[in-house]
Each structure stands twice: as C-alpha cells, then as structure tokens.
C-alpha cells in the first residue's frame, strides 16, 4: 500500500484511500489488524478490526452522523435494555473514524422470520417492541440530543409530497386506483399529529441481528440515520419491508405488526393509522417512480 503524506480533511474518502486517512489521523490503530468489508455501507467505509471490533471511516459529509452514532451508542449502553447494542469504544473528535464493538450475530431475514416458531417470533418481537418503547419515550440528556438532528420531513411535508405524487400519476397513467388513494389519504390525514422523539430512522431487518444465532437475543445496530422524528416512522419503515418481502397475502406481515403493537408502549392513539399512512405513502411512491420512469423513457424516445 502506497503511503500518502498529503491526505487532507477535505480529501474525498473512498474504500481505496481510507487507509491513507487512518495513517494520517489514526496513528495508534495498526493497519495490519484491519480487514476491509468490500460491500458499501452508506456513509462509511467499514473494516473488521481484529476479532471483536469494527472500525468505520466516515465519508465526506457523514462525519457528524458518525459522531452521533458513537454518542448514542455510548449513552444507550449505560442503560438497562432488552436488546444488545454495539459499544462505542473510540470516536475521532471530528468524526473521521470511530471504533465499535463487534456483535456476533446474523441479520434477520424474511425467510428466518417465517421459519420461527410462534414462541420464538413473539420473543424477538417483544424485545424489539420493548426497546422501541424505551427509545421513543426516554428523556435523553442534552449531551446526547445535541448530536441528533430534527427531521425535515414531518407529516405536514409528507402529505404535500404524497398529494403531488398522486396528481402526477393521475395526469400520466390510468391504471392506478387514484380515487382509492385519495379516499384513504382523506381518512388518515387527521390522524397524522406529529410527535417528536429520538428514532432509529432506518429500522430494517438488516439492522436486527440474532445474537450468536439465537433469535430470542436481539441486537439492534446502525444508528447513523437517527433523528428526532415521529416514533411511528420506525414502525412504518419495518412494516413496509415486511409487507414487501414476506409472502404476498400479507398474513405473516400483519401478524408481526400486530405483535409489535402489542408489545410497543405509546400514548399516541393514532400509531396504527400512522403505520397505515406509511404503507400508503410507499405504495403511492412506488407507483409514482414507475410512472415517472415511463414518462422519461417516452420523452427520451420522442426526442431521439
């Protein structure tokens, strides 16, 4: 590996030059102990660090998010939680890199969920529901909250986006149930009272691990996208993935969402309606993207 001595803070970080950043700013980390994980990880270049640690190098524009993830992990690991979280071991003061403990676990998948017994499925959803109840209702201190940004897409903004997408689809395609969308949106819109709390904001199955293969011992990872947002956003994100990837009749997804609401403690009487809105927004957004791509292709063909 070629040594680069002029690596600057503004240099664009890639998988190819992340070692150079570490040489410049992390002289105490032995590079021979690092193993690059070649697949992309959003805003970070990620390494296995020895046998029990992970090292994340933030790409440009993602350094504040890496500090936020480290600060949340540091605080949350001082609490008694029903799930396992990676521990924050070290973070560069400018967010260039951070070191976390490595969790020995496998990500949940639609196939693994479908294969769990009823008792195991409820145990893992109970752990998740209890953790989200804690996360969304906990009075975090200012020392942590100062790193967590407020979301820029509250329900008022999302409603505007959805209405614009419906109008676009209506103008360019005839095969979608526009009236049905509008009726459902009208029924749900008064339930979308914005609540503000710390949310994970990327609650996918890939961020839920069965620790050492035991589905009853759950780990939650990757808080890089955490924001102050409506707590129902987390539940909606997971519901969207479940309904998209589990068997198409929706029975299994419905069962898991019902279990989650059973174990999720909230004072929000409209949480179920907010999940329904999230599913509706996803359905409309997918149709919008499909129609938009079709319009672009048609316009390009005419131009040619």
List own/partner pairs for 110-116 with CB under 8 A and 24 or more apart: 110/205, 110/242, 110/245, 110/246, 112/210, 112/215, 113/205, 113/242, 113/246, 113/252, 113/256, 114/246, 114/247, 114/252, 116/215
One domain for residues 167 and 180:
yes
3-state secondary structure of 46: strand
In a domain, 288, yes or no: yes
C-beta of residue 226 within 8 angstroms of C-beta of residue 69? yes
Whose tokens are 């070191």? That residue is 99
How far is residue 236's CA from residue 200's CA, in Å, rounded to a whole number? Answer: 12
One domain for residues 122 and 81:
no
C-beta of residue 33 within 8 angstroms of C-beta of residue 39? no
Query: Is residue 54 packed enough to be buried (19+ CB in 10 Å), middle (13-18) or exposed (0-12)?
Result: buried
Task: Spell out the SS3 assignment of 62-109.
Answer: CHHHHHHHHHHHHHHCCCCCCCECCCEEEECCCCCEEEEECCCEEECC
One domain for residues 225 and 258:
yes
> What's the pLDDT score for residue 304?
55
In a domain, 159, yes or no: yes
End-to-end CA distance of the chain: 47
> What's the pLDDT score for residue 302?
65
Residue 107 φ then ψ, to 5°: -65, 145
Query: Is residue 19 packed enough to be buried (19+ CB in 10 Å), middle (13-18) or exposed (0-12)?
Result: buried
- Which has the closest alpha carbon to 265: 122, 123, 134? 134
In a domain, 242, yes or no: yes
Give CA torsion, residues 102, 64, 239, 81, to 10 deg: 50
One domain for residues 185 and 242:
yes
> What's the pLDDT score for residue 108?
94
How far is residue 213's CA from residue 133's CA, in Å, rounded to a whole number? Answer: 24
In a domain, 2, yes or no: no
One domain for residues 160 and 265:
yes
One domain for residues 199 and 294:
yes
In a domain, 5, yes or no: no
One domain for residues 97 and 148:
no
One domain for residues 144 and 53:
no
How far is residue 63's CA from residue 70's CA, in Å, rounded to a whole number? Answer: 11
Question: Which of residues 44, 74, 102 is at a domain's end?
Answer: 102
Q: Quote the domain boundaries for residue 132.
A: 106-303
pLDDT in tens, the chain (304 residues): 455 457 888 899 999 999 999 999 999 999 999 999 988 778 999 999 999 999 999 999 999 999 999 999 999 999 999 999 999 999 999 999 999 999 999 999 988 998 899 999 999 999 999 999 999 999 999 999 999 999 999 999 999 999 999 999 999 999 999 999 999 999 999 999 999 999 999 999 999 999 998 888 999 999 999 999 999 999 999 999 999 988 777 889 999 999 999 999 999 999 999 999 999 999 999 999 999 999 998 887 665 5
CA distance to 46, 171, 227, per residue, from 160 (Å): 37, 17, 21
Question: Which of residues 102, 118, 142 is at a domain's end?
Answer: 102
One domain for residues 200 and 132:
yes
Question: Which of residues 75, 102, 129 is at a domain's end?
Answer: 102
How far is residue 39's CA from residue 33's CA, in Å, rounded to a whole number? Answer: 19
Q: Which two tokens stand for residue 138?
A: 């906990």
Radius of gyration of the CA atoms of the chain, in A: 22
One domain for residues 73 and 130:
no
Q: Which two tokens stand for residue 70?
A: 């480290």
Q: Which CATH number covers residue 68?
A: 3.30.200.20
Instruction: Please give the tally of structural domains in the chain.
Output: 2
Q: Which CATH number covers residue 297?
A: 3.90.1200.10
One domain for residues 121 and 69:
no
In a domain, 87, yes or no: yes
In a domain, 51, yes or no: yes
How far is residue 111's CA from residue 131's CA, in Å, rounded to a whole number? Answer: 23
One domain for residues 31 and 118:
no
List own/partner pairs for 281-288 with CB under 8 A and 24 or more apart: 281/158, 281/162, 282/240, 282/244, 283/181, 284/162, 284/165, 284/166, 284/169, 284/181, 285/162, 285/165, 287/165, 287/169, 287/173, 287/176, 288/165, 288/168, 288/169
How far is residue 274's CA from residue 297's CA, in Å, rounded to a whole number? Answer: 34
């Amino acid at each position: 590996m070629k040594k680069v001595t002029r690596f600057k803070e503004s240099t664009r970080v890639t998988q190819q030059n992340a070692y150079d950043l570490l040489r410049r700013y992390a002289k105490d980390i032995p590079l021979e102990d690092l193993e690059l994980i070649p697949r992309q990880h959003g805003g970070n270049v990620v390494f296995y660090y020895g046998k029990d640690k992970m090292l994340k190098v933030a790409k440009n524009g993602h350094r504040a998010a890496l500090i936020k993830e480290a600060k949340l992990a540091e605080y949350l690991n001082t609490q008694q939680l029903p799930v396992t979280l990676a521990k924050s071991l070290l973070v560069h003061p400018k967010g260039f890199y951070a070191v976390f403990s490595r969790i020995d676990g496998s990500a949940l998948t639609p196939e693994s969920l479908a294969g769990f017994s009823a008792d195991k499925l409820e145990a893992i959803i109970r752990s998740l529901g209890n953790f989200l109840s804690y996360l969304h209702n906990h009075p975090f201190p200012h020392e942590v909250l100062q790193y967590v940004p407020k979301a820029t897409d509250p329900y008022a903004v999302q409603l505007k986006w959805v209405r614009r997408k419906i109008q676009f689809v209506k103008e360019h395609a005839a095969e979608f149930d526009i009236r049905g969308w509008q009726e459902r949106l009208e029924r749900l819109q008064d339930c979308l009272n914005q609540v503000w709390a710390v949310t994970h904001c990327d609650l996918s199955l890939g961020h839920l691990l069965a620790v050492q293969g035991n589905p009853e011992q759950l780990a939650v990872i990757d808080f890089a996208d955490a924001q102050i947002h409506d707590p129902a956003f987390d539940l909606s994100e997971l519901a969207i993935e479940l309904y998209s990837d589990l068997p198409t009749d929706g029975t299994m997804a419905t069962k898991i969402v019902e279990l989650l609401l059973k174990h999720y403690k909230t004072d929000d009487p409209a949480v179920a309606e907010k999940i329904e809105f999230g599913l509706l927004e996803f359905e409309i957004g997918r149709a919008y993207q499909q129609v938009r791509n079709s319009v672009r292709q048609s316009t390009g063909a005419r131009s040619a």
